[in-house]
Amino acid sequence: SYVLTQPPSMSVAPGQTARITCGGNNIGFYSVHWYQQKPGQAPVVVVHDDSDRPSGIPERFFGSNSGNTATLTISRVEAGDEADYYCQLWNSTSDHPGVFGTGTKVTVL
Amino acid sequence: DVHLVESGGGLVKPGGALRLSCAASEFMFSTYTINWVRQAPGKGLEWVSYISSGSNYIYYADSVKGRFSISRDNANNSVFLHMSSLRAEDTAVYYCVRLVGTTHKYYFDSWGQGTLVTVSS
């Protein structure tokens, strides 16, 4: 089955930029989506279809996808961005189409 | 706003069974695909199962195939996850999630609050 690999954790200072990677074989051929999950809450989609933002998501959240790596970039990081982030894609050719990344915990220093 | 409310979680012994329910409202339920996604304590998200709008297509993760069964009742805006032969590793918060998007680009736009299933003797 398809595997998506993320760094387990990262730390970033307020006002700086966080770049969260999601690695997968030829992931650039898929549409990648990103979720933010804060403690005790359900995940919320922050980027879908590689780089689209749902209404209400700040422009500070930017997604890109090419080759074997998709990236979620959070610019001007704020304390409220501290959360777990997951990438996800839908592998329509598989009997197990739903695929999540391993997750990255972002800590704001 | 889309509303998804899970229920039916609880403590069950290994080898036991449980049925989770998901009640949907505020959208045209019968036209949407619904999934179950789970999250073990302190762990990441794991996709569990998928049921298409008309129940024509159903998929399961390998970890639950043969033990879990998904179904839906469009007349009552509900989805169910029948879980049997439960194992300790099935312990998790189970989320009912709506799937949206186009072919090859599906994603989960709305999530319930989750229901906790604990498998322990």
Residues of A with CB under 8 A from a CB of B: 1, 30-31, 33, 35, 37, 42-45, 48-49, 54, 84, 86, 88, 90, 92, 95-103
Here the contacts of B50-55 (C-beta below 8 Å, separation 24 or greater) are B50/A97, B50/A98, B50/B99, B51/B79, B54/B30
Nearest to A43 among B35, B45, B103 (CB): B45
Those residues whose C-beta lies under 8 Å from the C-beta of residue B56, and which sit 6 or more positions away, are none
Interface contact flag, B62 A90, Cβ < 8 Å: no
Q: Return the minimum-mean-pLDDT range out of A65-69, B65-69, B101-105.
A: B101-105
Amino acid letter, residue B10: G
Cβ contact A5:A44 at 8 Å = no
Q: How far apart are CA B60 and CA B82, in angstroms?
A: 12
Output Rg (C-alpha) for chain A, integer angstroms: 13
B72-94 pLDDT tens trace: 999 999 999 999 999 999 999 99
For B57, the closest chain A residue by CA position comes to: A95
Cβ contacts from A onto B, under 8 A: 71
Place of tokens 């889309």: B2
pLDDT of residue B5: 98
pLDDT of residue A95: 86
